[in-house]
């Protein structure tokens, strides 16, 4: 048979060599690249699409992407893990290297650091020396101490450290914002002098009332009502049953510069208070502001009511602390008590009467508490009275000499809280300005002549204390005197 073409093995030539109706049907062969082996397929007489992996640009993935025999290397650099790239952070630019784990590491760009005072932007936030300061406390102040173990300041009360702020690489010379100890402010609930105690200079919470001439409260504690019932007469009601007139004595000081006699009596459990006109000899009453204070039941305290008669006897009622009475003569009563042996403490007396009958002075004499009572004319007269020797450790008190010096005081051991007094005169008037940090215009003050002469000591409030007037009872002249002062708020 001449010219016949018989089937042959299929080859990649775009001809149906095996005559099965398909051209180059499913012809494949092995192929390779620098990266490995694969297969390629015949298409229209040519082998194409070799599946062997092809070299690519090296990337940081722990593989030899360009198949040069080195992993994660730079082109033409025969060294593993030498691949680098640019990197940056908020501080600057740099380069980083591909590690053996296929991760970019060790960016050489400078890293943000803690800001220090060097006029540089260490934390790379765009502002040099921002919020850089030194904790400080002015050495002139007190209230904070530096603990070298913990390396920090420890403060008490309201005291606080301050800051020296860095500007352009330099710390300020002054300490800004530090709060040091100051004199204690009474009844503000704060430890102002930073000694660990609060309101310690205020003294005990004695019941008191500061009453205006119209019969209203300017300030007070444990009194619920006050009412002017007539000219110069006021009814004062306590809020507690144990502090009512049938159980407690009351102590009064007129808040005026005039020589006003005062007295009180009881109407049931209500205190009835009488205020006199200036230098009245007839017991004429007149409206006036005044202070009223009740004692407390506490250690090292005595108080009571002495009812005296012309038979040289005085009975004791509504008393506390243990004491006995001895009438030494007309208008002179000695009170015997262990409390009276401390001659530096305060001592107060107020006339007990339903009308205006006179004045009282109180002082220490030969280990006893002595009270002298005078008529409206300034002459010794038998009068009933209440007396009180407060605990000298819990009351805020001082004793002022006739020259104006502070001869005894209780400042509760606070070196910043000192009683101060100044002796002044204006025309025929003699007076004393007395100051103590515990004073408040809504508080109360008790003032008592501390002499055996007929003297009256009314007191006007001032911005920092009281102005005590020394009034002689037997003439219009003023007379310098020693007196006790007690502040309550």
- pLDDT 10s digit of each residue in the chain, 489 long? 898 988 998 889 898 888 988 888 888 899 998 898 999 999 888 988 898 898 998 899 989 898 988 998 888 888 888 888 999 988 999 999 999 888 999 899 999 999 999 999 999 998 999 999 999 999 888 999 999 998 999 999 999 999 999 999 999 999 999 999 999 988 889 999 999 989 999 999 999 999 999 999 999 999 999 999 999 999 999 988 899 999 999 999 999 999 999 999 999 999 999 999 999 999 999 999 999 999 999 999 999 999 988 777 889 999 999 999 999 999 999 999 999 998 889 999 999 999 999 999 999 999 999 999 999 999 999 999 999 999 999 999 999 999 999 999 999 989 889 999 999 998 888 999 999 999 998 999 999 999 999 999 999 999 889 999 999 999 888 999 999 999 999
CA distance 272 to 256: 19
CA distance 295 to 207: 7
**Mean pLDDT rounded to a whole number for the chain:** 93
Burial pattern 43-79, b for ≥16 Cβ within 10 A else e, equals eeeebeebeeeeeeebebeeebbbbbebbbbeeeeee
Nearest to 346 by CA among 202, 483, 250: 483
- The torsion angle over the Cα atoms of residues 332, 333, 336 and 337, rounded to 10 degrees, is -110
Q: Which residues contact 465 (CB under 8 A, 6 or more apart)?
A: 420, 433, 434, 435, 436, 439
**Percentage of the chain exceeding pLDDT 70:** 100
CA distance 328 to 372: 10
Instruction: For residue 204, give the DSSP letter.
Output: -
CA atoms within 13 A on the CB side of 312: 5
- What is the tens place of the pLDDT at every residue in 448-467? 999 999 999 999 999 889 99
C-alpha distance from residue 192 to each of 180, 181, 441 (Å):
9, 6, 20
The whole-angstrom distance between residue 331's C-alpha and the CA centroid of its chain comes to 50
Task: Give the pLDDT of residue 64.
Answer: 87
Instruction: For residue 428, give the DSSP letter.
Output: T
The whole-angstrom distance between residue 174's C-alpha and the CA centroid of its chain comes to 24
Q: Which residues contact 17 (CB under 8 A, 6 or more apart)?
A: 7, 8, 9, 10, 11
CA distance 93 to 259: 90
Beta bridge partner(s), residue 469: 431
Q: Which residues contact 311 (CB under 8 A, 6 or more apart)?
A: none
CA distance 216 to 226: 6
CA distance 279 to 202: 34
Pairing of strands 324-329, 332-336: antiparallel
Phi, psi torsion values for 338, nearest 5 degrees: -60, -30
Q: Which residues contact 308 (CB under 8 A, 6 or more apart)?
A: 314, 327, 333, 373, 382, 383, 384, 385
Instruction: For residue 402, give the DSSP letter.
Output: T
Contact 64, 70 (CB under 8 A): yes
Task: Give the pLDDT of residue 415.
Answer: 86
Task: Give the pLDDT of residue 337.
Answer: 96
- The torsion angle over the Cα atoms of residues 345, 350, 352 and 354, rounded to 10 degrees, is -160
Task: Give the pLDDT of residue 426.
Answer: 86
| pTM listed for this prediction | 0.75
**Burial of 95 by CB count in 10 Å (0-12 exposed, 13-18 middle, 19+ buried)?**
middle
Specify the length of the chain in residues: 489
**Burial of 268 by CB count in 10 Å (0-12 exposed, 13-18 middle, 19+ buried)?**
exposed
CA atoms within 13 A on the CB side of 83: 25
Task: Give the pLDDT of residue 464.
Answer: 85
CA distance 87 to 453: 98
Nearest to 435 by CA among 201, 212, 208, 213: 201
CA distance 313 to 308: 6
Contact 273, 236 (CB under 8 A): yes
3-state DSSP: the chain helix, strand, coil percent, rounded to 5? 0, 40, 60
Q: If you write DSSP's letter for every residue of 229-259 in order, what string do you get?
A: EETTEEEEEESSGGGSTTT---EEEESSSS-
């Amino acid at each position: 048979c001449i010219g016949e073409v018989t089937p042959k093995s299929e080859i990649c030539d775009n001809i149906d060599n095996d005559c099965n109706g398909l051209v180059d049907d499913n012809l494949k062969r092995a192929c390779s690249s620098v990266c490995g082996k694969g297969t390629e397929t015949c298409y229209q007489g040519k082998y194409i699409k070799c599946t062997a992996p092809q070299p690519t640009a090296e990337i940081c993935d722990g593989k030899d992407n360009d198949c040069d025999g080195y992993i994660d290397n730079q082109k033409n650099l025969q060294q593993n893990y030498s691949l680098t790239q640019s990197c940056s952070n908020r501080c600057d630019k740099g380069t980083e290297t591909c590690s053996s784990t296929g991760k970019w590491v060790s960016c050489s760009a400078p890293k943000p650091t803690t800001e220090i005072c060097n006029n540089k932007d260490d934390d790379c936030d765009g502002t040099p020396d921002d919020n850089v300061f030194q904790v400080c406390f002015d050495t002139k102040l007190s209230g904070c101490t530096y603990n070298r173990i913990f390396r920090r300041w420890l403060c008490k009360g309201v005291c606080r450290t301050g800051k020296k702020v860095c500007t352009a690489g330099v710390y300020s010379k002054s300490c800004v914002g530090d709060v040091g100890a100051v004199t204690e402010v009474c009844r503000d609930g704060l430890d102002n002098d930073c000694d660990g105690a609060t309101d310690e200079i205020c003294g005990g919470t004695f019941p008191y009332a500061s009453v205006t001439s119209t019969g209203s409260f300017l300030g007070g504690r444990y009194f619920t009502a006050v009412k002017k019932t007539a000219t110069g007469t006021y009814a004062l009601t306590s809020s507690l049953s144990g502090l009512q007139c049938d159980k407690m004595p009351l102590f009064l000081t007129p808040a005026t510069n005039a020589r006003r006699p005062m007295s009180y009596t009881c109407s049931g459990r209500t205190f009835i208070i009488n205020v006199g006109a200036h230098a009245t000899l007839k017991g004429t009453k007149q409206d006036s502001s005044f202070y009223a204070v009740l004692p407390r039941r506490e250690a090292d305290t005595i108080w009571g009511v002495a009812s005296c008669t012309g038979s040289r006897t005085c009975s004791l009622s509504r008393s506390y602390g243990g004491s006995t009475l001895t009438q030494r003569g007309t208008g002179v009563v000695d009170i015997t008590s262990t409390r009276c042996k401390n001659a530096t403490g305060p001592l107060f007396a107020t006339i007990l009467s339903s009308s205006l009958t006179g004045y009282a002075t109180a002082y220490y004499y030969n280990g006893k508490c002595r009270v002298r009572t005078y008529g409206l004319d300034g002459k010794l007269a038998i009068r009933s009275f209440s007396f009180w020797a407060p605990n000298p450790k819990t009351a805020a008190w001082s004793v002022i000499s006739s020259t104006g010096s502070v001869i005894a005081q209780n400042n509760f051991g606070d070196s910043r809280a000192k009683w101060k007094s100044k002796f002044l005169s204006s025309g025929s008037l003699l007076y004393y300005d007395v100051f103590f940090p515990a004073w408040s215009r809504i508080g109360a003050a008790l003032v008592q002549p501390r002499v055996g002469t007929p003297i009256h000591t009314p007191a006007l409030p001032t911005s920092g204390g009281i102005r005590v007037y020394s009034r002689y009872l037997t003439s219009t002249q003023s007379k310098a005197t020693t007196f006790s002062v007690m502040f309550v708020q």
